[in-house]
Structure 1
Amino acid sequence: MDKLKSISQLDFFSELKEKEIEELSTISNLITYPKNSILYYEDEIKENILFLVDGLIKIYKYDKFENEIFLYHIYKNSMISELTSVNNSSIYCFSNAEFVEDSIVLSINFEKFKEMFLSRNILSIKLIETLLEKTHQLQCIVNRELVFDSTAKVAFMIYNDLAMFNKLKRQEVSFMLHIQPETLSRVLKKLTRNGSIAIEKSEVIVLNKEQLESTFRGVGI
């Protein structure tokens, strides 16, 4: 895939002029990763800011018993890196990142990116907006893991990520939400009975989005 075209297709850089995209390309690399490969491990330090041009990434951690704890997915056209400071050029990795599909990543030298763009107040607002979105995502993870019961967890995922829910096997969904497969089955039957969803050929269809939202709305939100 062409580097200039890849940059221009990312929403994060949609406001850049053609000359600025060309400048950005001089400090960037386009890297292809196969499915199941690792982008980075927890506690690694990176010097580049990363964007997912195409593909799918799973973000996860391990608990003290070496059990995998799923956190969230990163979809194409998204920033991967989790920044805690724009003053420090080193980017700390708080979790593990694994490719679920063959993927393409845009890797940008963060120090030069700050010098060439952020210092001129180019893309600064876009970066702030993206970081706020990631903060909200973290709040949703806290709710899911510490506040939501099983019903709220399932309703929340169906409401926010129906395509992924239907793409995965039920056992994989159970693993992601840290509930038993039997519990997932009971919750789906419950949501079907109250008219929130229907299930046709193993695929979930949302019938009443407001009803579904009320299942988790107000629970830790």
Structure 2
Amino acid sequence: MNKNISSKELISSLDFFSSLDKEQIELLSSISVIHNYSKEYVVYYEKKQNNSLLYLLKGLAKAYKIDKHNNEIFLYYIYENSLITEISNIKQGTLNSFANVALLKDSQILQIDYKKFKEEFLDKGFLCSEFINEIILNSQQLQSLINREFIFNSTAKVAMMLYDDLDIFNNLKRAEISLILHIQPETLSRVLNILKRDNIIDSKNGKIVVLDKEALISIYEE
């Protein structure tokens, strides 16, 4: 099977492009390339213009910024079967990156020529609703970031991560989680112990198990 057929099959299997017909899938495939990258590869850096629309087919990525002291500030995760590229305006001819994006696992990325994509799809009214949904998602991620950094206390931060990113939580070291949430390791341990005491979570074989999802939600939505 050649790369072009593989691209068509992959694109046609993605929900994001499900509204396209066969001819459009063929066209999209002709302006797309599939790349495989290793863990820790930096997909792009903040404040850089990008000419490619990037879609994460397999793997996991994170968006982050670097402060003036060269400290990493975690923003959010990017999961497979979703856009990596930040979309703020579907009328712009170029893509501007707000943050750095790096891979946390070996990953597969669909790279699309954005200029041609805009001319053949967005400017003709195709996939606009999908892109508007991405803009809304970015807005929601920003709201979550503001809550996490400026509104939530330590317990709410931990509860939100346990609810939204339990698998990632269980695959990270406690020190790494503390850095992501900007809390002290001893604070993280204290919060986990409280949640266990209240029968909201449990620990089995070194992994956190959520016993009461509704209780977690109530902690950070109250």
Q: Same fold (TM over 0.5)?
A: yes
Deviation at 1:196, TM superposition (A): 1.1
CA distance in 2, matches of 1:128, 1:70: 25
CA distance in 1, matches of 2:12, 2:139: 25
Comparing 154-163 and 84-93, the one that deviates more: 84-93
2:23 is aligned to 19
2:202 is aligned to 198
**What SS is found at the alignment partner of 1:71?**
strand
Runs of at least 5 residues in structure 1 that lack an aligned partner in the other structure: none
**What SS is found at the alignment partner of 2:47?**
coil
CA distance in 1, matches of 2:99, 2:13: 27
CA distance in 2, matches of 1:117, 1:90: 15
CA distance in 2, matches of 1:30, 1:206: 37
Q: Percent identity?
A: 45
Residue 169 (1) aligns with residue 179 (2): no
Write the deviation string for residues 25-48 of structure 1: whole angstroms up to 9, x where unpaired: 111111121111111111111011
- Of 127, 130, 138 in structure 2, the residue corresponding to residue 126 of structure 1 is 130
- Of 54, 60, 64 in structure 2, the residue corresponding to residue 50 of structure 1 is 54
TM normalised by structure 2 equals 0.94
Write the deviation string for residues 62-104 of structure 1: whole angstroms up to 9, x where unpaired: 1111111111111110001112222221111111111111111
1:108 is aligned to 112
Which AA in structure 1 matches 2:217?
Answer: E
**What SS is found at the alignment partner of 1:107?**
strand
CA distance in 1, matches of 2:123, 2:65: 34
CA distance in 2, matches of 1:184, 1:78: 30
- Of 156, 162, 186 in structure 1, the residue corresponding to residue 160 of structure 2 is 156
**What SS is found at the alignment partner of 1:70?**
strand
Q: Is the 8 A contact 1:10 1:78 kept in 2?
A: no
- Of 52, 72, 80 in structure 2, the residue corresponding to residue 68 of structure 1 is 72
CA distance in 1, matches of 2:73, 2:11: 32
CA distance in 2, matches of 1:30, 1:212: 39
Deviation at 1:213, TM superposition (A): 1.1
Residue 80 (1) aligns with residue 84 (2): yes
Runs of 4+ in 1 over 4 A off after TM superposition: none
2:9 is aligned to 5
TM normalised by structure 1 equals 0.94
- Of 86, 102, 121 in structure 2, the residue corresponding to residue 98 of structure 1 is 102
Q: Is the 8 A contact 2:202 2:208 kept in 1?
A: yes
Runs of at least 5 residues in structure 2 that lack an aligned partner in the other structure: none
CA distance in 2, matches of 1:83, 1:64: 26
1:212 is aligned to 216
RMSD of aligned Cα (Å)? 1.3
Deviation at 1:50, TM superposition (A): 1.0
**What SS is found at the alignment partner of 2:98?**
coil
Residue 36 (1) aligns with residue 67 (2): no
CA distance in 1, matches of 2:130, 2:87: 13
CA distance in 2, matches of 1:207, 1:101: 28
Aligned residues: 218
